[in-house]
Structures are given as C-alpha cells and as structure tokens.
Structure 1
Amino acid sequence: MKTRLLITLKDDKGLSVAGTIVRLFKNAADTGIVRVADSSGILYYPDLEVALYYWLAEKGCKNNRASQTTLNRPLVKGFILYGYAVLSETGTLKITNKSAEAYKLFDSTFAVKLPADTIYFTYPKVGLHKIRAEKVSTPGVGKDSIIQIKCSDTTYIKVPF
C-alpha cells in the first residue's frame, strides 16, 4: 500500500476553493509538487515518501498562512493522512525592533518576544489590528498602534513606535 496525503481546501465561509494553487514540499529548498485544486477543493497525493511535508495554498490574495500548513508529523508508510487549509485574505506584517531592548508585541492573533535589533514576519488577516508593544523590562507599560492590513500588501512597523 502506498503512502498518501489528502488535503481539503476551504475558504473562511467553509466553501470549497477551486483553482487554488498548492505547493507541497519538504523544506524551503524543495521545489515541491505543484497542483491546482479542482471544484471539490480536494487535492490527493497518491504516492509520497515517508516524510514531514508542508503546503502553501494560494488563490489571489487568499492563502493558508493563517491556517494549517503541515501535519506536524511525518506521513505513515502505507496509510492515507488528511490535512486541510482554510484560505483567508491576508497581508504581510514586518516588525523591526531597532532598539537596544527586547519588546513583547501582541494582538488577538499573535504574541512574540522580539529581541533587540531583530525582524519578525507574520501574516495577519486583512482588516484593522491593534498591536500592543511593551518593553520586556517593564511589562504592562506600553503603547498601542492601529494598523490596516491590506490584501497581498506588506505593512511595516518599527519598534519602538
């Protein structure tokens, strides 16, 4: 029996997403297997190696960066495993800490401790987001910033703001 993977693609409303381009890969250097989902929104990979796989699903500015991108475990020889991806409209948020101190940044979808002089990327859903930044050395004291995330666009934040 062959090692198989089935990935189901849905949008935020639970509808199948036909025409989605999906790249299945083992690591960033792997060119992977590229397929296009049919009207069912289901992709079937019938003969894979036993390995840990990742997938990136994209259609327009919708992608699965805010959803499942891996099973977090290797495939099992001779079995079929099931994955999914919920496609949402997202943008890129690039946060740069230019200070000599570590900061904690968070909103309703992420929390990150950002060491001094580092960069962090996240892929929030489209819309308004309130980002809170606090110095790690003084928790509870910080500033809020409202940002607009646009579809397939990159928003930049420099800390401190």
Structure 2
Amino acid sequence: AELGALRAGQTVLIHGTGGVALFGLQIARLHGAQAIVVSGSADKHEAARALGASHVLARDSDWPAEVRRLTGGRGAEHVLELASGPNLDRSLQACAQGARVSVIGMLEGTTLDASFYGLVLGRVTVQGIGVGHRRALEELVRAVDANGLRPAIAASYGFDALPQALDHLARGAFGKIVVTP
C-alpha cells in the first residue's frame, strides 16, 4: 500500500490464498479497494469471499479477461504477484494502464516470463518486494491494531508435528500454518 499509493475505488488482483495473499486482501479492503483473488482451489473461494474478496476467479480459467470484464475494461491497478514464473505475463494482461505489479513470491519458479508489449505498452511498473524498513512495519502494526485485522490461520501444530505441518503447507493452506514449540 505504501509504495503503490493504493486508493479507494481501485482494484487489486491477488494471487493465492496463503498468509501474505490474505493479508494483502485485508489491507486492500481496508483502503477501500476492490480485491479480486485468483485461486486454484475451488474449496477456498467462499472463504476468500468471506474475508472480503469482491470476486474469486479460478486459476485455470481465463482470469485476465475476467478481471478486465469485472473492471469495465480498465484492468487492475495493483497486482500482488505471488506465483511468478510464466504467471507474470497473464498478470500483465489483467493490468490497467500504469498499473503496479509487486512480485512477492516464486511458487512457479525463480524466473519471470512476460511479454515486452504487456510491460511497455501498458506502462506497468514491476517491483520486487522484500523485507521493508522499520517505519513501514510500525505503520502496518498500527493499522492492524487500529482496525482489528487478524491473520487467517489455517491450522496450528506442535513442534512434534512439524512433518504434518509441512505436508499441510505443501498441499496449500488457506492462510498461515503455525508451529509452536
């Protein structure tokens, strides 16, 4: 939100239903933005809607075209790109002119694959997101506290159940997996 200058009425396209994606969804809604989630798990669609997603689209669908349709042809102003790899090119197809794509994850590989035309003609800014600075973290914590945001926790495991926790994570969790010592 800080780097992208997210504003009310804009559209944020979010890939997945992991912990980072779901916090992104909550923060987008907090700013008054419409959040569109792309998920490969149909059983997680209703949970994403309950958390505030305006729309949830199937990963194996023509979601770039659907994002454009849902935004009246405009496209999404912001994308939280958690898949990476060849998914970036499809994200660019769903972008509004001058959009910002924040690359956060690499679920589909460590390289990015995108069309020159989608990037340059769309005047899209692609930025990598890593660990932020202290002031940004303090502002985020204040916003979380002030608005009562809660992380979506899929399950909690004791440390002795670490293999089961990792297996759950590999299957794809709706939110965070917590392991306690």
TM-score for the superposition, normalised by structure 1: 0.24
Which structure shows the higher helix fraction?
2
Which structure shows the higher strand fraction?
1
Q: Which has the larger radius of gyration?
A: 1
